[in-house]
Amino acid sequence: MKEINWKTKFEPFKIKMTEPVAVTTYAQRLEALKKAFYNPFNIPAEKVTIDFLTDSGTGAMSQTQWGAMMSGDESYAGAKSFYRLRDVITLITGCKYVIPVHQGRAAERILMGVIASTKPAQTIVSNAHFDTTRANVEANKMEALDIPVKEAYEFGKAAPFKGNIDIAKLKKVIKERGAKNISLVIMTVTNNTMGGQPASMANIRETSAICKAAGIPMFLDCARFAENACFIKQREKGYANKTPLQIAQEMFSYAQGAWMSSKKDALVNMGGFLAFREDTTWTQKSREALILGEGFLNYGGMSGRDMEALASGLIEGLDENYLNYRLESTRYLGEGLLKAGVPIINPPGGHAVYIDVKKFLPDFKQENFPAQSLVCHMYKMGGIRTVEIGTLMFGKRDAKGKWMAADMELVRLAIPRRVYTKSHFDYVIEVMAHIAKNKKDIKGIAVSWAPQALAHFSAKLREVK
């Protein structure tokens, strides 16, 4: 008998503990939205039915993780939980020098501070910096340069590895600026800013070879390395019979170091690390910065129980049944939206589906914040909370304070891990199908008040006709 692949047809877990979701009326949601000044960041989570704001720290831990937490060693120095975590990180990344931090941006703050202190006014190059990475590079007066491949901007057109770095541009940038002026090349896996798209092994390998020849270190920003490894297994020739762990090990083997916001693929609510292959000046200075700002070398920003949950989560996050389900469920949501008449960045990413709002609402006035308008409308119609990646987030204003339209108008539906079931996704697809048939009901947005930096988090907005 031929084996039928049932494996991706169901969630590979059952539920032992539940948490209620809000079941609300249209009037209640309208009221909540008004009170939040049309900024869903201000809506209490208790009033949200499906929370797609982020996949960061919002996942469900397993019984193994909760069990491991009970054996957390809370010693200040030399805790066994630290050694366990270090050994798991070394197994996956091949990096022996591990610096535990409370979340990804703490690793970025430490690393970028160290790089800037050894060589000022440098350029950092990436397939695309995440916002906090860019902010930490710029806060240290360095330049953050993104060179994604051009397919990354062709939202409607599917390609297997839209998260790649543009190799020709990388060579050009090194030639034009001189290798000595580039301190670091970052491969973000998966590439969150460009749609949660994976980078191929061939691209990581080639980037590494170019960097090595030029004497530039390459690091992985590896928040979603396991999802990236699973995409490589599914899409790249030669990897179908390898395990996600083996693929991850090869990905890391090309890098001199890595940092991780473990709130993503490591299935914890808080945690992270910075890891180095060699004990260099950067490693030593990072240890000093860790003690100064986070905590002692053996816990950094985490408690012993957090380190236990993280060590277990890193292993679980590489489980093939889990990863197949994870990518399949995101694909299910993405294709459901496409069928409902909602254009997305195609193919769907690993952790999120991104709606292409310029294509969805072509006649919507640009000055009325189309993506933010859709974000508000999705909450109003279905209690679905998402985030705008568009004019409000990029936040550029001209000399007169007028908002300048961003290139992209996207809405991100980021999916918490092991939290929502297929029927939750069906509900979202149904709400979106209704919205797609009644686009004229979507009201524009105007800004009443916004701070100078990072406006989207706290801006006060209002509806316009």
Q: By CB under 6 A, name the binding residues for ligand F0G.
A: 54, 56, 103-105, 130, 132-133, 188, 192, 221, 223, 261, 263, 272, 414
Is there a catalytic annotation at residue 76? yes
CB of 149 to ligand F0G, least distance (A): 17
Cβ at position 27, least distance to ligand F0G in Å: 30
Burial environment of residue 94 by CB neighbours within 10 A (0 to 12, 13 to 18, 19 or more): middle
Nearer residue to ligand F0G within complex by CB, 189 or 361: 189
Q: For the sheet with 182-188, list strands across it.
A: 97-101, 272-276, 257-261, 218-221, 182-188, 123-126, 143-146
Q: Give residue 247's identity as a one-letter amino acid code.
A: I
Least distance (Å) from ligand F0G to the CB of residue 263?
A: 5
Nearer Cβ to ligand F0G, position 261 or 373? Answer: 261
Name the active-site residue from 47, 129, 263, 456.
456
What's the closest the beta carbon of residue 252 comes to ligand F0G, in angstroms?
16
Among the listed residues 9, 45, 76, 396, the single catalytic one is 76
Q: Could you confirm whether 26 is annotated as catalytic? A: no
Q: Tell me how far apart the alpha carbons of residues 410 and 404 are, in angstroms, rounded to a whole number.
A: 16
Active site residue 273: no
Of 68, 106, 199, 223, which one is the catalytic site residue?
Answer: 223
| Catalytic annotation, pick one of 51, 73, 221, 356 | 221
Active-site residue, 264 included: yes
Q: How far is the CB of 14 from ligand F0G (least distance, A)?
A: 27
Measured from each CB, the residue nearest to ligand F0G is 104
In the bound complex, what is the minimum distance in angstroms from residue 34's beta carbon to ligand F0G?
25
Looking at the Cβ atoms of 56 and 283, the one nearer to ligand F0G is: 56
Question: Is 456 a residue of the active site?
Answer: yes
Which CB atom, from 163 or from 336, has the smaller least distance to ligand F0G?
A: 163
322 has catalytic annotation? no
Please say if 465 is a catalytic residue.
Answer: no
Q: Write down the residue that tokens 């769907």 correspond to.
A: 348
Residue 24 or 103: the one with the smaller Cβ distance to ligand F0G is 103
Which of 22, 60, 80, 131 is an active site residue?
131
In this complex, which beta carbon is closest to ligand F0G, that of residue 65 or of residue 103? 103
**Catalytic sites, residue numbers:** 76, 130-131, 221, 223, 264, 456
